[in-house]
Amino acid sequence: MKLTRRHFIKSSLFLGGSLLLSDLPLYAENRKDLQWYPAYGKLEQAGKLAQRVDQAYSSLKECELCPRQCGADRLNGEQGFCEASAKLMVYSTQPHFGEEMSLVGQGGSGTIFFSKCNLRCVFCQNWPISHKGYGKEIRDDDLAEMMLHLQKIGCHNINLVTPTHVMPHIVNAVRIAFKKGLRLPLVYNTSGYERFEILKILDGIVDIYLPDMKFMDADQAEKYLGEASDYPEMSQQAVLEMHRQVGLHRADSRGIAVRGLMIRHLVMPNRVAGTDKFIRWVSENLPKSTYVNIMHQYYPDYEAFDYPDIWRRINVNEYLEAMRWADQYGLTNLDPDSIRIRKLYEKQKL
């Protein structure tokens, strides 16, 4: 059975919250791909990574890490919209086999799921973690050890889920872990609600950006994304900056992603996500060979049942329509799973 993110969250909940690292099996310790040399390693060797840690932490004083720019003094315990203080909280860490194929490979994507979120969608499928803040408080040193452990057990990358509000901790932990041997690519798995000015701190640290582009219209973003009416503008600026930093998706000889931009877009019922506009925007602003995952997995969760337009799954026609737009606008690097689903749906219609 293919493990989806939903299964991943459910299994973690079933296990009573954070998975214990000591419970994870050890396998594939002798990894050839540990020869990979990550972007953050080059930055550390140039003597610049420590500066980035300081720069990132200074953003917590009057927090401006995301477009909400709450100004909360998180270093002194204040909380902004995301309800995060200066304390780092992690819900779970484990190899994940439900991400994009080039992130999963054989060893899995080394997922670290951070508690809380700066966007807080009404249809959030991870709401116990992102809205309710389930998780355990840890130190940056512990986060570094988690990264090292995921490397040791054979994961192909460190997949940082919902990282925006804890970016300073991540940068610090990466520096600690690098000195202890971390060599895996970092995957910045974000909602896309980012400030491009803050992303510049990550230039030369992150190897793979994995942003969502959720909505293209301000009014829909206002309604469904925690009143973030500037989401379309902010996410578009952010994705352009991500592409400037890491370029197109690249994989090694085994097909494992090592660098680049991978965009996710979730097709929503009744066209509320603006999928046609999203595809057109990509085709007009990025190379047509940009990696795009047009996702079919939407299901209503959390407060979605209060919104009639999104209280159902999408249907076959809505997904096929989205894939036809991708053809129409000439996108050439669609996620293999999205192509597989398209074929499946087309057969169903015959």
Binding positions for [4Fe-4S] cluster:
117, 121, 124
Rounded to a whole number of angstroms, the minimum distance from the CB of residue 160 to ligand SF4 is 15
Rounded to a whole number of angstroms, the minimum distance from the CB of residue 170 to ligand SF4 is 13
Considering only the stretches 9-17, 39-47, 75-83, 102-110, report the one whose residues sit in contact with ligand SF4 under the rule CB under 6 A: 75-83
Q: Dump strand ranges (E) for 122-207.
A: 136-138, 158-161, 186-190
323 binds ligand SF4 (CB under 6 A): no
Q: Whose Cβ is closer to ligand SF4: residue 80's or residue 154's?
A: 80
84, 112, 261, 292: which one binds ligand SF4 (CB under 6 A)? 84
221 binds ligand SF4 (CB under 6 A): no
Q: Whose Cβ is closer to ligand SF4: residue 66's or residue 155's?
A: 66
81, 114, 134, 281: which one binds ligand SF4 (CB under 6 A)? 81
82, 112, 155, 182: which one binds ligand SF4 (CB under 6 A)? 82
Considering only the stretches 79-87, 239-247, 283-291, 342-350, report the one whose residues sit in contact with ligand SF4 under the rule CB under 6 A: 79-87
Q: Whose Cβ is closer to ligand SF4: residue 96's or residue 165's?
A: 165
Query: Which residues make Cβ contacts (< 8 Å) with residue 95, sequence separation at least 6?
Result: 24, 107, 108, 109, 110, 111, 150, 153, 154, 155
Rounded to a whole number of angstroms, the minimum distance from the CB of residue 114 to ligand SF4 is 11
Query: Which residues make Cβ contacts (< 8 Å) with residue 292, sequence separation at least 6?
Result: 263, 265, 279, 282, 326, 331, 333, 334, 335
* DSSP-derived secondary structure letter, 184: S
β-pairing, 250-251 vs 257-266, is: antiparallel
Query: Which residues make Cβ contacts (< 8 Å) with residue 15, sequence separation at least 6?
Result: none
Rounded to a whole number of angstroms, the minimum distance from the CB of residue 72 to ligand SF4 is 5
Is residue 121 within 8 Å of 224, Cβ to Cβ?
yes
Binding string, 45-74, against ligand SF4, x = CB under 6 A? ------------------xxxx-xxx-x--
249 binds ligand SF4 (CB under 6 A): no
User: Which residues on adjacent β-strands are paired with residue 263?
Assistant: 292
Query: Which residues make Cβ contacts (< 8 Å) with residue 175, sequence separation at least 6?
Result: 40, 44, 49, 50, 53
Is residue 109 within 8 Å of 98, Cβ to Cβ?
no
120 binds ligand SF4 (CB under 6 A): no
202 binds ligand SF4 (CB under 6 A): no
Is residue 153 within 8 Å of 24, Cβ to Cβ?
yes
- Footprint on residues 147-176 left by ligand SF4 (CB under 6 A): 165
Rounded to a whole number of angstroms, the minimum distance from the CB of residue 154 to ligand SF4 is 33
DSSP per-residue letters across 315-328: PHHHHHHHHHHHHH
* DSSP-derived secondary structure letter, 334: B
Distance (Å, rounded) from C-alpha 87 to C-alpha 214? 28
Q: Whose Cβ is closer to ligand SF4: residue 78's or residue 303's?
A: 78
Quickly count: other Cβ atoms within 10 Å of residue 255's Cβ: 10
Residues in contact with ligand SF4 by the rule CB under 6 A: 63-66, 68-70, 72, 80-82, 84, 118, 165
